[in-house]
Structure 1
Amino acid sequence: MYYNENTVIYLDGKFVKANEASTDLYSQTMHYGYGVFEGIRAYAVENGTQVFKAEEHYDRLKKSAELINIPFDYNVQGLIEVTYELLKRNNLTDAYVRPLVFCDPNMSLARPNNVSIMICAWEWGAYLGDKQLRLTVSSYCRPHPRSIKIEAKVCGHYVNSILATNEAKDKGFDEALLLDSDGYLAEGPGANLFFEKDDVLFTPQLGNILPGITRATVLELAEELGIKVEQGLFKPEALAAADSAFYCGTAAEVIGIESVDDKKFPKAWNETLGKKLKDAYSKRVRQPKAVQEQL
């Protein structure tokens, strides 16, 4: 699904065949989840292929590493150039890109001495599909911000996401919705939450959620479209009384939510602010960067 005998990845300064690459089974990342990663999308645009917000993603990769004391000696611009070369070598235009910074062999709980970087890419449709989602509020909450660096995209943090997603699917739902440790709305296992009430958008404030780059893009688009957005702490009851809702994330893009615990939102998706933002987002990511910067 992700690679074949012709797929090329970037590993520690070299382009190598994916099926010939190897790593050390004693890696600290393998045993403890002590590593950082990014999810990035490339889109076919009028003049070729464009990696959407590449600099922002690699800046976050660097920040994630620094927040959890993983050495990061890579140049962001250099990684962007490598990414475009990787896409070219794999003949990819619309693609998902996954950079991963992982640690050397180390069975202790101390910071690593050396790290490696891998970047791979593959064709991948919208992660959560293209139909509206049926959610359930998870019995799992997001980790407390005093227990981890919540703003870092760390490998081990996603065990929480896997547990929540599997619980939801086992119950017959499409995806989970997680609250924070105080019972306020947080986010999905891999996406940020927005909901609409009386022509105003609401979204959980930073602090207990991953500050998504797609979330930031949605906020930019909302401002351009004159849509009022309020960020804050919201209980599940506020979502239950909403007119509509949607998730957003690099892998998921923008996708509508049909219901939460089988309670459907009353507003038709095509009439919602979420649909308007979904269309605007789809258009934005496929615009050449020069055009984006003029908007």
Structure 2
Amino acid sequence: MSEIVKVQKLQKSFAKVEALKDVSFTVHSGEVVGFIGPNGAGKSTTLRILLGIINRNAGEAKIFNKDVWQESLEVHKRISYVPGDVALWGNLTGGEIIDLFMKLHGNGDKGKKERLIQRFELDPSKKAKSYSKGNRQKVGLIAALSVESDLYIFDEPTSGLDPLMEAIFQEEVEQLKKSGKAILLSSHILSEVERLADRVVIIRAGQIVESGTLSKLRHLTRPTITVVTKEPIKELADTSGIHDFKAISPYQATFSADQSVVNDIMIQMTKLGIEQIESVPPTLEDLFMRHYEG
């Protein structure tokens, strides 16, 4: 896979406020990178720098090995971008706006456009001023997906869409990935990121606090175990590596466990006579909330 996006030691300040502090990550062709973090973490600032809207104070930001500020016009020829709140020209119809965006990009596919209009159930004959937020978002998505780009940047792309339309968007992103495109996805819908992303980058207070594949990151969080035993289970509470122990009954409990000592805990539970056990792996939300809360 070739490197499409390279961000290294990126810094940005607004007056005395340090918005980004040495932010580094990459996006390669054929992969989806989930870029997540709480409000005010620096996601939008990073994306605005990548789009050449604002300039950085320090560090490196390149797309297609081109500087995103100095060579922004060349970069824009090969990218598609959808913001979280699409602003449209009120007196133009949705179809006219999509055609305009495709013409400006210069690499549109009319057949794909028609297919996407049907899939997203958009009425392209209505004027944009009559559209709901969800329909405005559909216009942006259809326009972005109807052109041939090498990098797709989505910033809260399904904001305002119902679950059915979210699922359609996710299917389209999976097709882009299969065709070798690079996708940078910023979303508050963690289940969406979990389904689509090959790698996740978590940003908090302007710094990258975690990055890597989901399988790698899940090793950093604890599975939740629910167990029913023949013997009273309370003595498990003080076992090393067990956290958040909660006794549901004298013979049933739920707790989280460190990965490194799961085998030892299993031996302890076996001595108590396991009747039923369930282990739930940690989710992306668990990882996200761990950094968000502390």
**TM-score bracket relative to the smaller structure:** under 0.3
Q: TM-score, normalised by structure 1?
A: 0.25
Q: TM-score, normalised by structure 2?
A: 0.25
Structure with more of its chain in helix, by fraction: 2
